[in-house]
Chain A
Amino acid sequence: MENLIANFNYVIVVILMMIGLWAMLAQKNLIKKCIGMAIFQTGIILFFISIGAKNEAKVPILSKFVAENPPAIIVNDYANPLTQILMLTAIVVGVAILGVGLALAQKIYQQYSTFDEDEILENQRK
C-alpha cells in the first residue's frame, strides 16, 4: 500500500491507459475512439516523464567547470533529459495521428451521416 502511495503517478498512468484502451476497443462511437487514443497516448507520455524525474534533481546542463572535469559529474544530481525529448517527439506523432483520425472520422460522417460503428456497418451491408 505504501508502495502505491509513493508511486501514485504510476497508478494514474495505468488507470489512464486502461481507460484509453477500453475506449479504443469497446466504444462504438468513432469520436470516442479518437478520444480514447489521445488518453492512451497521454498515459504513455506521463509514464515516460515519470521515469525521467528524480528528487531534487538539477536541469541537465553542465557548467563549464564541470564539463572540463568529467569526474566531477554526479549523474544523480541531474534529471534524465532523454525521456522528455522522446516525449516531445511522441507528442508530435500523437497529434499527427489524432489529426488524421479526426479527418477520417469527418469523411466517414459525410458518407454515412453517423459516427456510430454499428449503423455504419449496417449501411455498408445495404
Chain B
Amino acid sequence: MTEQLPIIIILGPLMAAVLAAFAGWFRPKLSHPLVLLGLAASFAAALKLVFIVADGGTQKYWLGGWGDKVIPGQKDPFVVGIQITVDHLNTLLLAAVSGIALLTAIYAKRLVDTELAGRQRYFDALFALLVTGLLGISITGDIFNLYVFMEIAALSSYALIAYGKSRAYMASFNYLIMGTMGACLYLLGIGFIFIKGGTLNIDDLSGIIPTLQADGPSQALFVGFILIILGAWAKMAFFPFHGWLPNAYTYAPTASASVLAPLATKVAVYAMLRIMLTVYSIDYIVGLNGIQPIALYLSTAAIVMGSFLSLTQTNLKMIACYFVISEIGYMVGGAWLANKPGLTGAMYHLVADAAMTSALFMAIGCIVYRLGQAQLESLRGVFFKMPVTMTAFVVTMAALIGVPPTCGFFSKWYLIQGAAQAGVWHFVVALLLSSLVKAIILFRIVEIGYNRVPHPAIQGNPAIERKEAPLSMLIPTLVMALGLIVLGLYTDTLVGTNTIIGKAVSAALTP
C-alpha cells in the first residue's frame, strides 16, 4: 500500500475534480463533499510520505510500471515511463500544498455560496483541478510532465480568477498572456536540454548534465537554463514580470484568491529550485559568471519595490498581493545565494510563506465577508467588531514581519545569515526594509481599526456589535494562524542537519 502513496496525492484531487463536475450536474450539493474527500485523501498520503521520506529517503514511483526495465544486453535500466519522485526537497511542500488546499476548501464554502451562488459546482471542480496541477508540479520527476501540470494549474486558475467582478476578465487575460509566455519559454528550454541530454527524466538528467560539460561549458545547456529560469520567473510573478499578479488576485473572487495566492507562486518557485538544484547543480549556478549577481539584484528590487508599492495601496487585498511579490524576492534571492543558510532559508520559507500568505488571505476573506469590502478606510472599529479574526490577522502580520516565535522569523534569520555569508549586503538591507514596511502597515491598520472609533468600553460611547465571520471560516483561519506559531516552534526538527530540509540542502550542496 505504501508504495502507492505518491500517486494517491495526485489522484485524489484529480478524481474529485472529475466526479465533482459530473455529480454536480445531478446533485449540486454533492460536489463540495467530494472535493473535500479527494483533498483529504491527498493530504493524508502526503503527510504519511513526509514520515516515510524522513526515515527512508527518496521514494520513487513509475506510472503504469513503465520504467526501470532492464533490457537484455544493456547494462543500465531503460527509462520509458514517467517517474514520480518524493524526496527531501518536495515532501514538505506536498504536505503544505495539500493541507492548505484542504483547509481552504473548508474555508471557502461560505464565500463561494455568497459570491458565486449557483455556480458552486464549477468552482469546486476547478478548485480540485488547480490543486491537482499544483501537486503535480511538486511531485513529478519529469521536466515535460512538469510543463503539462503547470498548464493544468494555470488553465484552472485563469478560470478561477475570471469568476470575479468587473475587472476580473481583463486581469485574467493579462495573466493568461504572461503565464503562457512563461510556460512557452519553459517548454523551449526543455527542448534545449532534450537536444543535449536526450532524456526528460530529472534523475537521469542530473547524472548526464555534468558529463556533457566535461570539455567546457555547453552553449545549448546554458540557453536552456536561462529560458527555463525566465519561464519560471514569469510564472511566479518575480520582478520584472510581476505586473499581472496584483490585479489578478485582487479582482478574483476572495475564495479563489485565498487558494491561488499562497500556492500558485510558491509551487513555481519550487519548480525553479528543482531545475536549479537537481537538474543542474549548485556548481553550475555558481559557475555562471554574471548571472548570479543579476538574479540577486532582481530579488532585492522585487523586495524593495513590492514593499514600497504595498505602502501606497489603500485596499487590503492589494497590499497582500504586493506582499506576495516581495516574498517571492526572498525565496529567489535565497536560492541564488547558493550557500547553505541561503538555501535552507529559501526552502523553509517556501513552506512558511505558503502558510503565512494563506493565513493572511483567509483573515482578509473573513473581513471582506462581514464588511463587504477591504478598503483600509472601511476597517474602522474592526478590532471591536471581529476580535478573533483580527487576532489571527495580527499574528499573521507578526509572522510576515518576522517576530521570533513565528515561522517568519526563522526563515528570515537564515536568509539574512546566508546573505551576510555571501557578502550580498543589498539583500540584507532589502530584507530588513521589507520587515519595516510590513510593521508600518500593521500599525496603520491597528490605528484605523482600533483608534479611529470612540472606545466602546468607555461609558457614553456607542457600543460596537460583535459580528465574527461564520465558524466554518473562522476555524480554518485560526488553525492557519496557530500553525504559523507551531511551525516556528518546530523549526529545529525541520531544518537541523539531519532533518528533511537539512538533508535536502546537503544533497544540493554535495555534487
Contact = CB atoms under 8 A, between A and B. Distances in A.
Contacts of A108: 169-170, 173
Contacts of B71: 70
Contacts of B184: 40-41, 44
A96 interface: yes
A21 B227 CA distance: 14
Contact of B177 (A37, A47, A93, A96): A37
A120 B73 CA distance: 65
B191 interface: yes
A19 to B, nearest CB: 13
Interface size range of chain A in the complex: 20 to 34
Nearest to B152: A93
A104 B167 contact: no
A83 to B, nearest CB: 7
B187 to A, nearest CB: 6
Contacts of A96: 151, 155
B501 to A, nearest CB: 33
A48 B191 contact: yes
Interface in B149-174: 151, 154-155, 158-159, 162, 167, 169-170, 172-173
Contact of A104 (B144, B172, B191): B172
Main secondary structure, interface of A, reads helix
A111 B191 contact: no
Interface residues of B, number: 29
A24 interface: yes
B288 interface: no
B67 to A, nearest CB: 14
A58 interface: no
A47 B188 contact: yes
Interface in B162-202: 162, 167, 169-170, 172-173, 176-177, 180-181, 184, 187-188, 191, 194-195, 200
A25 B194 CA distance: 28
A24 B154 CA distance: 17
Contacts of B167: 124
A40 B200 CA distance: 22
A90 interface: yes
Interface in A64-85: 70-71, 82-83
Contacts of A90: 147, 187
Contacts of A44: 184, 187-188, 191
Contacts of A111: 169
B173 A30 contact: yes
Contacts of B191: 44, 47-48, 51
Counting from the closest, the 10 A-B pairs by CB-CB distance are A70-B73, A104-B173, A93-B151, A107-B169, A108-B169, A101-B176, A100-B158, A51-B195, A37-B180, A40-B184
Interface of A: 17, 21, 24-25, 30, 33, 37, 40-41, 44, 47-48, 51, 70-71, 82-83, 86, 89-90, 93, 96-97, 100-101, 104-105, 107-108, 111, 120, 124
